[in-house]
Amino acid sequence: MDEHAALIQRIHKRRNARRRTQLEPPTEPKSKTVERSRRDDLPKDAVKRAKCIAYGPNYSPEEESIRSSYAQQYVNTARRPQNFIRNAELGERFQEHPKLQRLLEMHHAVLERESHPAMHLRADLRSFDFDTLVPFRFDTILIDAPLAEYGQADNWSWDELAALPIPRLAAQPSFIWIWVGSGSGPSQGLERGRDLLARWGYRRCEDIVWLKSNTRAPAIEDEPVTDTLLTHTKEHCLMGIKGTVRRSTDGAFARCNIDTDVIVWEGDPDNPLAKPPELHALIENFCLGSRRLELFGSRARRGWLTLGPADIDSAEQFEQAKYAEWFAQNGALFTTTQEIDDLRPKSPPPRTARGGNPTGGIGRGRGRRESPAPPPVPAQQMQMNAQAQAFIPMPFNPMLAFYGMPQYQS
């Protein structure tokens, strides 16, 4: 009870702090919207005045409604709507979910203990001999190719990506993540990305969206110039699955419903082409397979083998014998405990046609419990029910009444 009371107190404290910040008037730009936000023209009606103070500048007393001014605010200040998403940082996302936070703390301790050191192999993937990796089958493959949309000189076409021998590198079952750009415009990243997944033998199962915030230096002149009607403030990462992974029975290989499919990240000012590091954390939280491969990677990460043209000094050089010895000693799955299994989100219990739980447990299958059979219905009662159903009125339909049709079925 004390922990619950402390949690509620923290929630109320954060909520009040957010409300105080929302009531502070903006300093720029000077416009009619800003003048209203200063609440200098509060209505005389006491109820509407109280609502204006409580709901902030977005409340319109004339319309008795709250307007979402994020689009107009972007026009006025270049602040993107995703800047105002709360709990977007990975460190604060689970503060109000103690069970998930405890689960991730325990899982990250396992990753730190059982992940192999970061390994890197500098290679030009156009001419790289992938037979070097063929003895290994990877549970997770992440691809961040230099697409033409990113404006890099040495970019890869979709046909070149399709020629990568991904089926020879993928385990069964396994997952793949591939960045496909903004998904619109001439590149048609979403469609071409789906074609790649199908060509490699994967089924698309998720679409992860990266929302690019600009809280550090919002300015219209800093927005990238595109050949589309709207400014691109997002990118897509398609997720595919090979083989069969059941949420109800394969909890030792995949954990579902821990992270969301939306990532909010400002970007790296030193490397504009860098992708959110949170995607790696999402993959590690989801898939418990320890054989992880990143293609076109530019940063080393513990537990990953990174291949790409960049030279990464902070990672060990890949050696086939050393890599094979690690998995021979530690296995291809991260260990789990009973406490971790109890904390992880589970599949909802199966329901029968009558709405019961055939296992008798709460999603755990603690023995089968048969539901009692319904009492027999007398023949006379069945006849009365049939007669009553013959004159059940249909829902009123004004069009039928307009045409003079009867409103009762017989």
Give me the pLDDT at residue 91, please: 79
Give the Cα separation of 67 and 69 in Å (integer).
Answer: 6
Helix (H) or strand (E) holding 66: strand 65-66
For residue 29, say if its preceding peptide bond is cis, omega within 30 degrees of 0: yes
Give me the pLDDT at residue 362, please: 34
Give me the pLDDT at residue 398, please: 43
CA separation (Å) from 120 to 139, 156, 268?
Answer: 17, 21, 21
Angle at 254 between CA 253 and CA 255, to 5 degrees: 135
Q: List the chain pLDDT tens, one digit each, 410 residues.
A: 677 677 767 776 776 676 556 545 555 444 444 444 455 678 888 888 888 888 877 788 888 887 777 877 787 788 888 998 888 888 788 888 899 999 999 999 999 999 999 999 999 999 999 998 988 999 999 999 999 988 888 899 999 999 999 999 999 999 999 999 998 767 689 999 999 999 999 999 999 999 999 888 777 666 666 667 777 889 999 999 999 998 888 888 999 888 999 999 998 888 888 999 999 999 999 999 999 999 999 899 999 999 999 888 888 999 999 999 999 988 899 998 899 989 988 877 666 544 444 443 333 333 444 445 555 555 555 555 555 444 444 444 444 443 444 444 43
Classify residue 281 by burial, with Cβ atoms within 10 Å: 0-12, 13-18, 19+: middle
Q: Which residues contact 291 (CB under 8 A, 6 or more apart)?
A: 136, 137, 138, 139, 140, 171, 327, 332
Look-up: residue for tokens 């502070």? 24
Give the Cα separation of 260 and 362 in Å (integer).
Answer: 25
Classify residue 109 by burial, with Cβ atoms within 10 Å: 0-12, 13-18, 19+: exposed
Give me the pLDDT at residue 350, please: 65
Give me the pLDDT at residue 385, please: 54
C-alpha torsion sign, points 94, 100, 106, 112? negative
Domains located in the chain, CATH noted? 98-218+230-339 (3.40.50.150)
Give me the pLDDT at residue 65, please: 81
The model carries a pTM of 0.71
Beta strands in 315-405 (DSSP E): 316-317
Q: What is the DSSP letter of 263?
A: E
> Own/partner pairs for 341-344, CB < 8 Å, 24+ apart?
341/251, 343/99, 343/100, 343/102, 343/103, 343/106, 344/103, 344/251, 344/255, 344/258
Q: Phi and psi dihedrals of 263, rounded to 5? A: -120, 130
Beta strands in 250-333 (DSSP E): 262-265, 292-295, 305-308, 316-317
Q: How many CA atoms lie within 13 A of 224 on its CB side?
A: 15
